[in-house]
Structure 1
Amino acid sequence: MQKDSKKINLWTAMSFLIFIVYLLFLVYPIFQVFIQAMFVDGHFSLANFSTFFSKRYYSETLWNSFKVSTTATIFALIVGSLLAYLFSMYQFKGKKLLQICIIIASMSAPFVGAYSWILLLGRQGVITKFLMNTLHFPQIDIYGFGGIVLVFTLQLFPLVFLYVSGAFKSIDSSVLEAAESMGSTSFDRMVKVILPLLTPTLLAAALLVFMRAFSDFGTPMLIGEGYRTFPVLIYKEFISEVGGNAAFASSLAIIAITIALAIFLIQKYVANQFSFSMNSLHPIQPKQLTGFKQALVYIVVFGTVFIAVLPQLYLTYTSFLKTSGMVFVPGYSLDSYRIAFDRMGSAILNTIRIPLMALVIVVIFATIISYLAVRKKNFFTSMIDSLSMIPYIVPGTVFGIAFITSFNTGVFGTGFLAITGTAFIMVMSLSVRRLPYTIRSSVASLLQISPSIEEAAESLGSSRLNTFMKVTVPMMMSGVISGAILSWVTMISELSTSILLYNVKTKTMTVAIYTEVLRGNYGVAAALSTILMVLTIASLLLFMKVSKSDSITL
């Protein structure tokens, strides 16, 4: 009896420890933002919110974010779903290479894509000059609403592709065969059979795409050129208020959190209306095409992927060009890489060091939280699981403001955890923000493991902790690794939070790329972007080798 009590206390202690961490690094920072926004000179006041809603400038900015995020989400759903359909239904060469290219297009920092498209389609861009000088096209305007939507679509459709590709593997081919035997055409099967089956997945992908687009500030900052979006407004208001009254920036952060939460709850409600389970006994087998249909599939697939990776390809090319000030000159050189390693060597090291420390925390916490949420389900563990999803909907800029506000002078101004400007605050911000990816993947993996396996181990004399470490963890490791690689790749391409939290000693490659672009050091920025791309590719290839899989899905 005493032995059982110790076992129970072990999981209780773990639950309590995780809850304390969430209180310190999630609940407390957001609470501090609320306090700062709603209390002016020590008195409760809604003046900041009144200012926001009374001025058209701010409401228009918010509406701009909705327009650009919604439009990008729609286009990303169309492109990503179409590619997933073609990959799942038809056989063609180069699938593995194309999938790696698609993921690379997604995992690079969004503002890097914006910078690349400026080099390609900007006023002095390579494609722009060719179209104007050779084909006598009118001036192309890549800036503003259209440019932001283009970058977001090409950046985010791979997420839809990964989600939908995973869903296609759960569709039983007998369902499609039954529809075909009843005289249903390919188009009818797509609309009346496949699309309804994919609806829950599409809703989940749409939420992720919308939230990524809504919270990004690097892309509109570089390519928006006057087209104001909400994250840029929050960032600028906070930066301009440093050293003074930051209450208005905090009120904007609260509005962003409220909007994100509302969208999340609406998506969850709608998704529950369409929720069902699928069990694929006979997975869909890709068909071999010939003639015109085969050519059309190749054109669509390779054409889309080429456009998506074109920015990275061109950045890699420009990284080897000679530069003179802000312009590229004829000839090739490795000077950009030499300067990048000489001046930004610490940033390259930080991009590996800081996310790696965060990843260790993410893997440990995700494994324990997923086990508690599935195997030890009660009110307390369900609350922890719910807390873990909050970072999923909080914009990165808001997180940065919350952490600076909370830990500049320590918890409640006591000096305890006064970590602003340290590597530790970067590690914790990345851990808390990217933890949901690994948790959700780990939970999905654990749900597929029958509890009877653990019960059998315990009946043979294994303790619960020993069973967890030697039976459960190894069996759920595929889900943990899958989520961890997504967390890792998003960590090394993180900008929106890091741009607020970094200092000279903790600058990462994404921050360095952003600052070099603003300074006009395009060659160095291209070299750093290429190094980041190589790091991403290496991570994905390592994942495929460890998981012994030729494909990656979510």
Structure 2
Amino acid sequence: MARVPVVKTAILGAVVLLLAMLVVQPFGWVVFNSFHDDATGAWTLNNYARVVQSADLIEPLVNSLLLATATAVIAVGIGVPLAWLVSRTDMPFRRSIRVLTLTAFVTPSFIGATGWILLAAPNSGWLNVLWRSLAGADGGTPLNIYSMAGAVFVCGIYTVPYSFTMVSSALDEMAVELEDAATTLGCGVLRTMLSITIPLAAPAVIASFILSFIQGLTLFGVPAFLLTPTGIPVVTTKLAEFYQLFPPEIYLAAAYCMPLLLVTGGLFWMRRRYLGRKQYVTISGKTRAGRQIRLGGWRWPALLFALLMPMTAVFLPYAALLLVSLTRAWGQGLSWENLSLYWYWWAIFGNSETHTAIVNSLVYSTLAATLCVALGTLVAYIVERRLMTGASLLGAVATVPIVIPGIVLSVGFFAAYTRAPFNLYGTPLLLIAAFAATFLPIAYSHGGSILKGIGPELERAARSLGAGEARTFLSITIPLMGGGLVSGWFLVFIPIIRELSVAVFLITPKTNVMTTLIYNAKDGGNYEAVCAMSVLLLLITLLLVAIARPLAGLTGARRTSRKTAEAAGVPS
């Protein structure tokens, strides 16, 4: 009998230790380093003074805020109407629009940026070339993807799935009796939307705006690909510059992370404060599907609007990436003689770096997702079942990474674990731990959502028969969670395998993953190789999504998707 509390104490201690190492220590080192001088290591406020007083450091902050605001406006402005059309109208091909939106979500935005470089580069972009061939040499260059407008466009279209998924989930799960009552009392479609539908969907709209803003604020790949060549700095690319200096200004980088933390933390505080004053609750029995709104003659114009996002985020960039990857030399144009599978053979068999990166991506993502789901599920179980004093504090720590941008967390891991006594720089463990910490809120929220639907009666029965907490958890709770853990694992694995900003400061040539290899290869100008690697990464990701969707459907994951998305910042 004495062994039971020992096992429980050991497990709880391991969970607390892991949370401290994955969340508290990296974040603590960012704060600690921000108050130290890079040259002397002495305590100082000079880093903050430089951030406030230097025009070279203020300009990236202003640019980041402009990019984030425009990204959120585009995401909500397109995603919310699109969600309403798909969920509540008789627009044709609604299911196809959902699938294409999911495809846009799993597409890494920096790969989308690569596709749009091929399409809209000022001189060589295919759309500009086509325009000049139609309008003549005096037609000019209508599109320039290397601009703030180009970055806003790419960030916006690849952030639309956030607002679409969250709002469509809210509309799908919304009890529609109030809408029907308003219609019965003579309200038209527009008045019903403004007085009933929009207020009920407001939490999802607000959450999607905040998450879209944070995406625009913290993205690294798109600004690095589209803004760096033109000399337009943002915070994330400026952080990368600090690490490229010799010697690197690590402590200044830590201080420069603080504005990102203040903005993201402030947004989530405002969201909680705003929604905390309001109640969005419907009291009814079982919900039922809403009556579809007939668009009449507007059905096809609505479809054209709905196709804008898939066309710009999927069809056009995918086609450009595929065509370039199938050419031996992109500059020679499209011809039968120039078509080749050479770059795919090169990527899979002919280049040891690419082969290593593919293996690393799969192995690191698998291990990180497993660690993330295991830890997140344990924390959720401890919190939901209140197994220890202060369990809610563990839950709060597990959700902290949601307000820490990935690039900031990677700065923290670099500071915490690349020095003695850990010396983990250049090791797979550093990347695996950083990936697991970044996406821990997803695993924790998903595990908590599943546990809320599992009554504790069987667990109590097992404990009354002498089973300890560990045995009860393994023999009762885990089987009841079943496929939900599998779908949660995929929910974490997919964003990990396409993550760039977390890995960019932590990789070495031996630990390169596909995203960082593509990022580094792009600077070499070999777009044929970059496109082949990008297509391979997309194929791997889409295949995993195809596998995950049936598993998620078996577990009723759709019921928890909105809660998971709002808490973790990633649509399910």
Does residue 1:170 correspond to 2:163, yes or no?
A: no
Among candidates 365, 385, 406, match of residue 416 of structure 2:
406
Matched positions, count: 544
2:526 counterpart letter in structure 1: N
Q: Tell me, yes or no, if the aligned pair for 1:89 and 1:284 is still in contact at 8 Å.
A: no
Say which of 347, 350, 358 aligns to 1:340.
347
8 A Cα contact 2:92 2:299, kept in partner: no
Structure 2 contact 377–444 (Cα < 8 Å) conserved: yes
Following superposition, the deviation at residue 34 of structure 1 comes to 2.4
Distance 2:294 2:390 in 1: 54
CA distance in structure 2 between the partners assigned to 1:286 and 1:308 by the alignment? 30
Structure 2 unaligned blocks of 5 or more: 562-571
Pick closer, same or farther for the CA change 1:464–1:447 going to 2, 3 Å: same
Counterpart selection for 2:320 from 308, 314, 317: 314
Task: Kindly indicate whether residue 417 of structure 2 is the aligned counterpart of residue 395 of structure 1.
Answer: no
Distance 2:152 2:285 in 1: 36
Which of the numbers 297, 303, 317 marks the counterpart of 2:302?
297
| Counterpart residue number, 1:59 | 58
Residue 181 (structure 1) shift: 0.8
Q: How far off its partner does 1:44 sit? A: 2.1
Partner in structure 2 of residue 185 of structure 1: 188
> In 2, distance between residues paired with 1:188 and 1:453?
48
1:386 pairs with one of 392, 396, 404: 396
The answer on whether the counterparts of 1:119 and 1:126 sit within 8 Å (CA) in structure 2 is yes
Name the CA distance, whole Å, in 1 between partners of 2:181 and 2:5.
51
> Cα 1:532–1:113, aligned 2, differ >3 Å: closer, same or farther?
same
User: For the residues of structure 2 that align with 1:251 and 1:523, how far apart are their CA atoms?
Assistant: 39
The answer to whether the Cα contact below 8 Å between 2:113 and 2:226 also exists between their aligned partners in 1 is: yes
1:205 is aligned, of 198, 201, 208, to 208
2:382 to 372, 388, 394: 372
Matched-pair contact (CA < 8 Å) for 1:91–1:286: no
- Residue 456 of structure 1 and its aligned partner are, at CA, apart by 4.9
* Residue 35 of structure 1, aligned match among 27, 32, 35: 32
List runs of 5+ in structure 1 lacking aligned partners.
none
Change (3 A) 1:121 1:274: farther
User: Which string of whole-angstrom CA distances, capped at 9 and with x for unpartnered residues, describes residues 41-91 of structure 1?
Assistant: 343210111111112232222111111101111210121112211121134
1:14 offset after TM fit, Å?
2.5
**TM-aligned CA distance change 1:487 to 1:498, over 3 Å:** same
Which amino acid in 1 is paired with 2:401? P
Shift of 1:158: 0.6
2:255 is the counterpart of 1:255: no
1: CA distance, partners of 2:520 / 2:41 = 37
| Residue 19 (structure 1) aligned with residue 16 (structure 2) | yes
Counterparts in 2 of 1:471 and 1:345: CA distance versus 1, 3 Å: same
Q: Are residues 465 and 26 of structure 1, via their aligned partners in 2, closer, same or farther at CA, if it must alter by over 3 Å?
A: closer
Aligned match of 2:565: none
| CA deviation after TM superposition for structure 1 residue 469, in Å | 2.6
Using the TM superposition, give the Cα deviation of residue 444 of structure 1 relative to its aligned residue in structure 2, in angstroms. Answer: 1.8
Instruction: Kindly state the Cα deviation for residue 403 of structure 1 after the two structures are TM-superposed.
Output: 1.6
Aligned residue for 2:240, secondary structure, equals helix
Q: Which residue of 2 aligns with 1:214?
A: 217
Aligned mates of 2:232, 2:45 — CA distance in 1? 28
Change (3 A) 1:247 1:172: same
* Equivalent-residue separation in structure 1 for 2:254 and 2:201 (angstroms): 38
Instruction: Give the match for residue 158 of structure 2.
Output: 155
Partner residue in 1 for 2:564 = none
Give the drift of 1:33: 2.5
What is the alpha-carbon distance in structure 2 between the residues aligned to residue 82 and residue 119 of structure 1? 29
Taking the aligned partners of 1:185 and 1:288, their CA distance within structure 2 comes to 11
Distance 2:438 2:121 in 1: 33
Residue in 2 aligned with 1:356? Answer: 366
CA deviation after TM superposition for structure 1 residue 307, in Å: 2.1
Q: Identity over aligned residues, as a percent?
A: 22
CA deviation string 1:251-294 (max 9, x = no partner): 11233223322222222222323344457713324638575233
Equivalent AA in structure 2 for residue 360 of structure 1: T
Q: TM-score, normalised by structure 1?
A: 0.91
The answer to which of 280-289 and 102-111 deviates more is 280-289
Aligned AA (1:253): C
Structure 2 vs 1, CA of residues 153 and 165 (structure 1 numbering), >3 Å: closer, same or farther? same
Sort the Cα spacing of 1:187 and 1:470 in 2 relative to 1 into closer, same or farther, 3 A: farther
Secondary structure at 2:510's aligned position in 1? coil
CA distance in 1, matches of 2:447, 2:157: 28
Alignment of 1:63-82 (within 5 A): 63-82=62-81
> In the alignment, is the contact (CA less than 8 A) between 1:369 and 1:384 conserved in 2?
yes
Query: Do structure 1's residue 490 and structure 2's residue 495 form an aligned pair?
Result: yes
Cα distance in structure 2, aligned partners of 1:280 and 1:318: 55
1:345-366 Cα offsets, whole Å, 9 max, x none, are 1111111111001111012111
1:146 to 1:473, Cα distance in 2 relative to 1, 3 A: same
SS in 1 for 2:174: coil
- Give the TM-score, by structure 2 length: 0.89
8 A contact 1:100–1:540 mirrored in 2: no
- Relative distance call for 1:486 and 1:262 in structure 2 (3 A) is same
Asked whether the equivalents of residues 100 and 537 of structure 1 are also in contact (C-alpha less than 8 Å), the reply is no
How many Å separate the matches in 1 of 2:402 and 2:470? 30
Deviates more, 1:400-409 or 1:47-56: 400-409
Residue 511 of structure 2 aligns to a residue whose secondary structure is coil
Using the TM superposition, name which of 194-203 and 284-293 deviates more. 284-293
Letter in 1 for 2:497: I
- Matched residue type, 1:55: S
- Per mean C-alpha deviation after superposition, the further-off stretch among 532-541 and 371-380 is 371-380
* Aligned CA distance change for structure 1 residues 228 and 350 (closer, same or farther; 3 Å): same
Q: CA RMSD in A?
A: 2.5
Q: Which moved more, 1:21-30 or 1:436-445?
A: 21-30
Cα shift at 1:521: 0.9
Deviation at 1:463, TM superposition (A): 4.9
> For residues 280 and 457 of structure 2, what CA distance do their matches in structure 1 show?
24
Shift of 1:18: 1.6
Note if contact 1:112-1:529 (Cα within 8 Å) is conserved in structure 2. Answer: yes
Residues 193 and 6 of structure 1: is their aligned pair in 2 closer, same or farther, counting only changes over 3 Å?
A: farther
